[in-house]
Amino acid sequence: MILAIDVGNTNLTLGVFEGEKLAATFRLTTRTPRTSDEYGVVLTQLLQNRQICVEQLEGSIIASVVPDVMHALVGALVRYTGTRPLIVGPGTKTGIRIVTEDPRAIGADRIVDAVAAYEKYGGPVLVLDFGTATTYDLITEKGEFAAGITAPGIRISSEALWTQTAKLPNIEIKKPASILAQETISSMQAGLVYGQIGQTEYIVSKVKEESGIRDLKVVATGGLGRLIADETDAIDIYDSTLTLDGLRILYHKNRSSRDGRREEKAGGTA
């Protein structure tokens, strides 16, 4: 078994793979400060609840966009699971060639999603991740990471409304019964959800237009991705486990050059 960890700005998502099968998933809040012991205790308890012993883990892998948690998290893995994680970054073997102006500026989470989408669905593919930010990444038929678009995520937009205004409330993000809202909450929901749908359709269309790739597959993931994918034909596939699958794929791509229980921090070109 391997442990895959995606450290996002909002949530820390963990997946345990047995071969290619995702045997268990867990989510923690990234914004809660934790020591290595706290991470270790929580992690071992979560695994035990699914009848998984830490001794069953042969290795681990992390993709993180939150540097502040890494010292404690890596320490927890070493101390409580006996694994030294592969940390996704420059130098990790990916099979994806980054041809943007500054390859090192591409977040580890976006590389992981790109690898998973290209390996699972082939190229050319446009990968949409509806997370804290909403990202759109273009991978060519040859496996080149050619372009990326970044926009505020739905939850960030919602938080901006209720934290930066005096009278608007914090609301549940869901599609209202009608876009013709007649009260505050459904009005906000309409703007957030239909605004995101409109943004998605326009950006996908514009990417196809400017790239000249009309047969572009569009694959979405992320916590609120299902909500948007169900409402538009611009998205071909919604894959809720895309990022975790990408981590599994990367672990095995790099396994031949590392010991699964020896820490190796990636460095170099992707």
- List pLDDT tens digits, range 151-180: 999 999 999 999 999 999 999 999 999 999
The alpha carbons of the chain give a radius of gyration, in whole angstroms, of 19
Catalytic-labelled residue, pool 37, 68, 102, 109: 109
Q: How many helices (H) and strands (E) does the chain have?
A: 7, 12
Closest CA to 53 of 18, 11, 94, 29: 18
Closest CA to 251 of 87, 98, 53: 87
Q: d(Cα 100, Cα 81) in Å, to the nearest integer?
A: 37
Domain positions in the chain are 2-87, 97-245
Return the CATH class of domain 97-245.
alpha beta
pLDDT higher than threshold 70 for residue 128: yes
Does 129 qualify as catalytic in the annotation? no
2-87 is a CATH 3.30.230.10 domain? no
- List pLDDT tens digits, range 94-113: 999 999 988 888 999 999 99
Binned at pLDDT 50, 70 and 90, residue 256 comes out as low
pLDDT higher than threshold 50 for residue 260: no
